[in-house]
Amino acid sequence: MFHAQILTLFPEFFESPLSCSIPKRAIEAGIVRVDAIQIRDFATDKHNRVDDTPYGGGPGMLMKPEPVVAAIRRARELHPDTHVVMLTPSGSRFTQAKALEFTGKPGITLLCGRYEGFDERICDYVDEEISLGDYVLSGGEPAAMCVLDAVIRLLPEVLGSPESAVLDSFSEEGILDWPHYTRPEEFEGKKVPEVLLSGNHAAIEKWRHEQARLRTSKRRGARVDHDEK
Ligand SMILES: C[S@@+](CC[C@H](N)C(=O)[O-])C[C@H]1O[C@@H](n2cnc3c(N)ncnc32)[C@H](O)[C@@H]1O
C-alpha cells in the first residue's frame, strides 16, 4: 500500500477531494492510505502558535521551525521510508515524470505552508521542494492535493484502463494529448474529423500523433518533427 501523509493546518481541506471519484476508489480498494497530521498539534507555546513575524521586517508571518520540524519528525517516525516534500513556489516544477517517480516510493509526506511561507531552516528537514507552477496559492493544500491526485491515478490498479495513463499528456517526452471527440458526429456545425470515422486504425494513429505534436508545438513551443511542420 502507498502511504501518503499530509502535514497541514487544514486537514479538513482534503476531505471532499479524497471522498470522490478516483482517490476515493483507490482508498477504498486499499491501494493508498492518506493520513493528515495537524501541524498545530506540535506547537510548543501555550497559544499553539505556528507562525511568527519575519526577522528583518516585512509583511506577513512565517511558519515557525519548531512545530513544523516536530511534525516532519512525527511523519518520519510513523513511516521511516517516507519521502518528505515541501510545497513551495520556489521549488522544482512538478511534472508527470515526478508524479511517476513518486509512485516508486513507499510513500510521500506533503508539507503544506501558509502565511508567507516557511522559515528557511525548515528546508534542511525535507527531501525535496516542489512547486506546482509559477503562481502563488494562498496555501500548500491545493498544491498537495494536485500532487496527490496525480500520483494516485498512476498507482498500479487504480485506473480502470491502465493504458489511459500511458496515453495522457506528457507521458511521451512532454507531448500533449491529441484532440478527442465523442458523439454526436456533428455539433453546431462542427464535425468530427473524417479520419476518426474511417475505421482505418493506422491512419487514425498517424493523425493522432501528428495532432499531438502540432498542439505541443503551438501551445508549448516544443519540438515538432520536420514533416509535421
Ligand atoms: C502565500 S504562499 C507563500 C508565498 C511566498 N511568500 C512566496 O512568494 O514564494 C503560502 C504557501 O502556499 C503554498 N504555495 C503557494 N504557491 C505555491 C505553488 N505555486 N506551488 C506549491 N506551493 C505553493 C506554499 O506551501 C507556501 O508556503
Instruction: List, for residues 160-174, the tens digit of each pLDDT value.
Output: 877 777 778 777 778
68: cell is 513544523
Q: What is the dihedral of CA 92, 214, 164, 91, to 10 degrees?
A: 10
Nearest C-alpha to atom 23 of ligand 1 is from which residue? 88
Banded model confidence at residue 223, pLDDT cuts 50, 70, 90: low
pLDDT tens digits, one per residue of 88-102: 999 999 999 999 999
Please state, in angstroms and rounded to a whole number, the distance separating the CA atoms of residues 161 and 41: 41
For the chain, percent of residues with pLDDT exceeding 70? 96
Feature table: binding site for S-adenosyl-L-methionine: 113, 132-137
Q: Whole domain around residue 211: which residue ranges? A: 169-228
Query: Rounded to whole angstroms, what are the CA distances from 145 to 4, 8, 109, 180?
Result: 11, 11, 12, 26
Q: What domain count does the chain have? A: 2
The whole-chain average pLDDT of the chain stands at 94
Number of the ligand 1 atom closest to the C-alpha atom of 90: 9
Is residue 116 flagged as an active site residue?
yes
Other beta carbons within 10 Å of 226 = 5
Nearest C-alpha to atom 19 of ligand 1 is from which residue? 89
Q: Is residue 22 domain-shared with residue 98, that is, in the same domain?
A: yes
Q: Is residue 177 domain-shared with residue 87, that is, in the same domain?
A: no
Q: Which residues contact 30 (CB under 8 A, 6 or more apart)?
A: 1
Q: Of 152, 179, 207, which residue is a domain's last? A: 152
Q: Is residue 178 domain-shared with residue 147, that is, in the same domain?
A: no
CATH number at residue 221: 1.10.1270.20
Q: Is residue 139 domain-shared with residue 186, that is, in the same domain?
A: no
142: cell is 491545493
Q: Is residue 126 domain-shared with residue 183, that is, in the same domain?
A: no
Sign of CA dihedral 44, 47, 48, 51: negative
Q: Which of 6, 86, 88, 90 has the most ligand 1 atoms within 8 A of CB, as the residue to mutate?
A: 88
Is residue 208 flagged as an active site residue?
no
Residue 161: inside a domain: no
Other beta carbons within 10 Å of 93 = 10
Would you put residue 26 in left (φ > 0), alpha (ψ -120 to 50) or beta?
alpha
**Out of 75-84, 133-142, 215-224, least confident range:** 215-224
Instruction: Enumerate helices (H) and strands (E) in the chain, giving the number of each.
Output: 7, 9
Is residue 225 flagged as an active site residue?
no
pLDDT tens digits, one per residue of 165-217: 777 877 777 899 999 999 999 999 999 999 999 999 999 999 999 999 999 99
Residue 88, burial from CB neighbour count under 10 angstroms (0-12, 13-18, 19+): buried
Residue 20: inside a domain: yes
Residue 229 is predicted with a pLDDT of: 36
Pairing, β 2-8 against β 186-187: unpaired
Residue 225 is predicted with a pLDDT of: 52
Give the distance (Å) from ligand 1 centre to CA of residue 8: 13
Q: Is residue 139 domain-shared with residue 81, that is, in the same domain?
A: yes
Q: Is residue 110 domain-shared with residue 207, that is, in the same domain?
A: no
Give the distance (Å) from ligand 1 centre to CA of residue 84: 16
Number of the ligand 1 atom closest to the C-alpha atom of 136: 16
pLDDT tens digits, one per residue of 113-153: 999 999 999 999 999 999 999 999 999 999 999 999 999 99
Beta bridge partners of 4: 34, 108
Q: Is residue 68 domain-shared with residue 133, that is, in the same domain?
A: yes
Residue 226 is predicted with a pLDDT of: 42
